[in-house]
Chains A and B, each alone.
Chain A
Amino acid sequence: MNALDALGASPVKANRLKTSSLNNKMVNDYWTDVFDAKKNGRLVCWYEGVAINPLMQAADIAWVHGEAWSALLAARNGEETAQTAAEGRGYMKELCSYARTHIGCGVMAQKRGAEASGSSFADALGANQLGERVPAPDMFISAYPYCSTGQQWDEMLFRLFGKKIPIFNISVPWVWGNKKDATYLGGAEFKEATAFMVRQLRECIKFIEEQTGKKYNWDKLSEIMHYTKRAGQLRMEAMDLCIAKPGPASFFDWTTSLAPVNFIPGGPAIVDYFEQVKAEIEQRIADGEGSVPNEKYRLFWDGIMNWNKIGWLANKFAGYGANMVAGRYTHMGFWHEWDPIDVKDPLEGMAINYLVCPINLSAPLMIEEIIKLCRKYEIDGVVLHAARTCRAFSNPQYLIADAVQKRLGLPVAMIEGDMVDESFYKDELVNSRVEAMLEAIDGRRRVGIAA
C-alpha cells in the first residue's frame, strides 16, 4: 500500500497550532458585542470585502462583515437556513454563497418584523436562529475590490431593506500593472490608484461623521492602526518562519488565524494573539515539530477557503504527509503589507492593503507573487481550490496553474468546492485529483527530478 492509501484510511490528525484556540474567544467576544450593539446604543454598519472595519471602530460603530458572518454560520452549521431564505427571495444557488448567506440573514431580519425605518431595526437578541441574531444595518459601506458580486451585494441589501438605509460606495480600482514602470506596489499607476483610494476613504469618513453626528476620532484610528500594523507584522514574521522543514504551521492554521486581521477590533488582544502564535511556532522549530506528522510534500493552496471543511481538509492533507505551507488567500492579504502603514496618517497604508488584496491584482503581478511564495516555501505542488460560487478567486487559476507548471515545473491539482456551501464539494473527486498530483511528485522524485 502506498502513502496515499494510508492517507485515506489513516487516523492521522494535523498538528494544529494550539494558540489558534485563543482566537475563538476573541471571535466569540466580538460577535457578542455585535449582538449587543443596538442594546448599547451603537450604530451598526454592514460591509463586505476588505477590512475597512478600523474606519468604523474609530467612530464606535459596530460592524458586520458579510463574509465573516457567513463563515461563522457555516462553521456552526447554521448557514443553510439563511441560504434557503435568500433562495426563497430569488437569489439563486450559483450566486456567491457568502452573499446568499448574508442576504438570507437580511431576509430573516425583515421576516422577524423589523421595519425599514431608514435608521434602525429592532434588535435581534433572543432570536432562535443564529442567522437571525445579527443586528440589522443602520448603514452600508461598500468597498469591494474586483468581485462584481461583492459590489452588488451591498446594493442588493440596500434594496432588500427598502432603499432607505444610507449607503456609501468606495470604488477599489483594479491593479492592472501593465504600464512599463509598474511593479508590485510600485509605478505611477499604483500611486495614482492609492491616491484615489485615499480620497475616497476621506469622503467615507465624512459619511461616517454624518451618520454618527460626531467629529471623527482620528487619534483613535491611529491607535487602532498601530495595533493592526503590529499584528500584521507579527503574522507575516510568523508565516515567514514556516520556511522551516518540517513546516511548523500550515495554511489551515493561517486561515483560522484570519479573524484578528480581518474583523476583530484593532487592539492589544490581536497583537498579543500573534505574539503567542509566533512564540509557538518558534518553539516548534526549536523542537523540530511540524504541522503534519510526517512531512513528505510541501504544497501551496491557491483559492479561497472552504470553511465547512477546514479541520477536515487539514487532517486529510496531514494524512497524505502533505503540509500546505502557504496560500494566496492567507499570504497575499489581510494587512500583509504592514510596512507602508504610517500609524500617524494611516489612510495611505490602509489603501495600499485594500488594493493588493488577493483578488485585486492582475494575473501577471499575482503570478509573480505566487511564484515568489512557491520558491520561498520550497513548494512541491499546487492545489487550486476553485470555489464554485467565487469566480473572482478562480478566474486566474488556469493562468496560475500554467505559470507554476511551466516556470517551476510544479504539478497542480484543481479541485472544486465552495466557501460556505458544502453541497458543491465531493470527496472522491478531490481525492483522485490530489492523489494523482502526489503520485506525479513521487514519480518524478523516483527518477530524480525535483521541482
Chain B
Amino acid sequence: MKSSTAQYVMGIDFGSTTSKTVILDRAGNMVASAIAHKGSVSNDGAMVSMAEALQQAGITEADIARAVSTGYGRRMLDIADKSYTEITCHARGAVHLVPDARLVIDIGGQDSKVIAVDANGLVSQFAMNDRCAAGTGKFLEALARAVQVPLEEMGPMAMTAVEHLSISNMCATFAETEVVALLAEGKRKHDVLGAVHAAIASRTLGLIARVGKREPVVMTGGVAKNVAAVHHLEQVLGMKLRIPPDPQIAGALGAALFALDEITSPDHADEEDRVDTEMAAARCGTPTCTAKKPLPANVHPLHGPALH
C-alpha cells in the first residue's frame, strides 16, 4: 500500500513487448531501473520489472508515494495512481535525459513515434506509425526470425553489409516474404539485414517529415540500442542522434517524473483522482486482459471485455 509520505515515486512503462520500471527518490535521483521481457502486454512482465526495481532500490511498495503508468497496458496496473500516453512520457523522459532535445524518435516494440518538443520541453507535435508494424521493433523481431539471427546480433551484422538491397517498408509481412525471397536468391544475410535497417530508417524519416526536422534529435526505445538502425537513421537524416545510456527506460522515467511532479505540486490530487478508486477495476485497457473481476456498477471499460 502506497503512502503519501513515502520517499519514492515509480514510473512504469507497460509496453507491448517489454515492461520498464524506474524508481526516483524525492530529489529526483534515479535509484532503480528494471526491464522485463515477458511478451505481449504481459502483466507478469510488469510485475517482474516492478519487483526487480523495488529490490534494486531496497524498498517495498509501501515506500512508493505515487506511481504513474504509461505504455499500451497503462490502464491495467492497479498500482498506478495515474496514467499518461507514451507520447507524453517519452517526451518527458527524453528531455530529462537530453535537456535541449527538440525531436524525440522512439521506436518501440509495436509503434514508432516522432515527437517535436518545444523550448519548454513540452510536446508540440507528434506522429505515430499507422496500423502496420513495419519499421518497429516487431518488424525487426519478425525479420530476425526470417534471417535466423538473434535480435541483438542483427545490428552489428547489418553494419557489415556490402551489397545494396532494397526491402519494402510498407508492410511487415510483405517485408518478411521479401527477406525470405532474397535469401533464397542466395543474398548474404549481412546485406539483407542492411536493407532491413535501411527500411526502418526510411519509414521513420516519413514520420519525421510530418512533425518537421529539428535538432538536437534524441532516440529512445529498444531500437535505439541497435547500431545499424541508428546508423541508417543518421544517414537519412544527415544528423547525429543522441542516444541516452539506457534508451529503453525513457518512458518509465518520464512517468516517474510526472509522479514526482504530482507529489510536489499541491494540485495533483485533482477531481479525477477521487474517481480513480471507483474505477480501478475498469482500468483493464486492452483486449488481452483476461482477469475476471466484475466491474463496479455503472463503470464501463474503454474497450476490451466488460470484466477485469
Q: How far is the CB of B220 from chain A (nearest CB, A)?
A: 15
- Give CA–CA (A280, B125) in the complex, Å: 37
Q: Which residues from chain A contact B84 at a C-beta distance below 8 Å?
A: 2, 4, 439
| Known A11-B298, A440-B88: A432·B210 in contact at CB below 8 Å | no
**Are A411 and B123 in contact, CB atoms less than 8 angstroms apart?**
yes
The total of interchain contacts (Cβ-Cβ below 8 angstroms) comes to: 108
Q: How far is the CB of A237 from chain B (nearest CB, A)?
A: 35
Which residues of A are found within 8 Å of B81, using beta-carbon distances? 1
Contact residues, B118-161 vs A (CB, 8 A)? 120, 122-128, 130-131
Residues of B within 8 A of A444 (CB): 122
> A429 to B16, alpha carbons, bound, how many Å?
13
Cross-chain contact of A1 among B123, B210, B273 (Cβ < 8 A): B273
Interface residues of B in 81-132 (CB under 8 A from A): 81-88, 111, 120, 122-128, 130-131
Q: Cβ of B300 and Cβ of A440 under 8 Å apart?
A: no
A118 within 8 A of B: no
**Segment of B179-187, B238-246, B276-284 engaged in the interface with chain A:** B276-284
**Interface bits A435-451 vs B (CB < 8 Å: 1, else 0):** 11001100110010100
Q: If A411-B123, A414-B127, A440-B124 touch, does A8 touch B75 (CB 8 Å cutoff)?
A: yes
- How many residues in B have their beta carbons less than 8 Å from beta carbons of A? 38
In the bound complex, residues from chain A placing their C-beta under 8 Å from that of B272 are 1-3, 5-6
- Is residue A309 within 8 Å, beta carbon to beta carbon, of the partner chain? no
| B120 contacts across to A, CB distance below 8 A | 447, 449
User: Which residues of A17-63 are within 8 A (CB) of B?
Assistant: none
Bound Cα distance A426, B111 (Å): 14
For the residues of A in contact with B, the DSSP-based class is: helix
Please report the C-alpha to C-alpha distance between residue A444 and residue B122 in the assembled complex, in whole angstroms: 7
Across the interface, name the chain B residue whose C-beta is closest to A410: B125
A9 contact set on B, CB distance < 8 A: 75, 279, 282-283, 299-302
Asked whether any CB of chain B lies closer than 8 Å to the CB of A405, the reply is yes
Cβ-defined contact, B86 with A5, below 8 A: no
Q: A8-B285, A431-B302 are in contact. Are A1 and B122 (CB under 8 A)?
A: no
Contact A432 B125, beta carbon cutoff 8 Å: no
The residue on B at minimum CB distance from A442 is B88
From B82, B126, B127, give the contact of A5 (CB < 8 A): B82
In whole angstroms, how far apart are the Cα atoms of A411 and B91 in the complex? Answer: 15
A262 CB → nearest B CB, Å: 30
A binding-site residues for B, Cβ under 8 Å:
1-11, 398, 401, 405, 411-412, 414, 416, 426-429, 431-433, 435-436, 439-440, 443-444, 447, 449
14 residue pairs from A and B, CB less than 8 Å apart: A1-B81, A2-B272, A8-B301, A8-B302, A9-B300, A9-B301, A411-B125, A416-B131, A428-B303, A429-B128, A429-B131, A432-B87, A439-B85, A449-B122
